[in-house]
Amino acid sequence: MNRTALPAALALVLAGSLAFAQQPQPQTPDATPPAAAPARTPNPHRQAIKLSQELSLTPDQTAKLEPILADRDQKIAALRTNTSIAPADFKKQMHAIQKSTRDQLDTVLTLQQTEQLKTLRGNGGRGLNQPLSPPPAA
């Protein structure tokens, strides 16, 4: 009977230590938080380059797109940080920003490029990769 008790006790100790080692350790207040998955930050320069390649834009057109896209991103960021806005108003304002951006892009792009952009948007894109989501609940 002693022969079976010792291996059983060792097995319990090992199992307990393995379970304890796998449990997450509580963080101290001064510890740095774990890196969260990086949010996809809009990059107007990268978006302008991408559109330039997809629509065969001239360098002048590409240069004009970047401030339009940066303005759009700034307005959307400000709208998303406004936690006091109702979801319906958020949606209306987001649509207004998107329409304004489209109107500004139409002044830079040729008619053929505008049609090509509409086709690109229709293939799964939503307003140059900008998701339409309500602000986080406060």
CB of 39 within 8 A of CB of 49? no
Domain count, the chain: 1
At 25-39, the pLDDT tens digits run: 555 555 555 555 456
> How far is residue 46's CA from residue 99's CA, in Å, rounded to a whole number?
21
**Residue matched to tokens 């360098």:** 59
Tell me the mean pLDDT in the region 47-73. Answer: 92
Count of CB atoms within 10 A of residue 12's CB? 10
pTM of the model: 0.59
Query: Which residues span the domain enclosing 76?
Result: 44-122
Decide if pLDDT at 99 tops 90.
Answer: yes
Q: What does the pLDDT average to over 88-100?
A: 94
Using only C-alpha atoms, the chain has a radius of gyration, in whole angstroms, of 27
CB 8 within 8 A of CB 14: no
In a domain, 14, yes or no: no
pLDDT digits (tens, 9 = 90+) for 113-134: 989 988 888 865 544 544 444 5
At 64, is the pLDDT very low, low, confident or very high (cuts 50, 70, 90)? very high
Lowest-confidence region among 5-19, 28-42, 49-63, 80-94: 28-42
The string of DSSP letters for 71-128 reads HHHHHHHHHHH-TTS-HHHHHHHHHHHHHHHHHHHHHHS-HHHHHHHHHHHHTT--TT
The amino acid that residue 31 corresponds to is: A
In a domain, 71, yes or no: yes
Report if residue 39 sits inside a domain: no
pLDDT attached to residue 5: 67
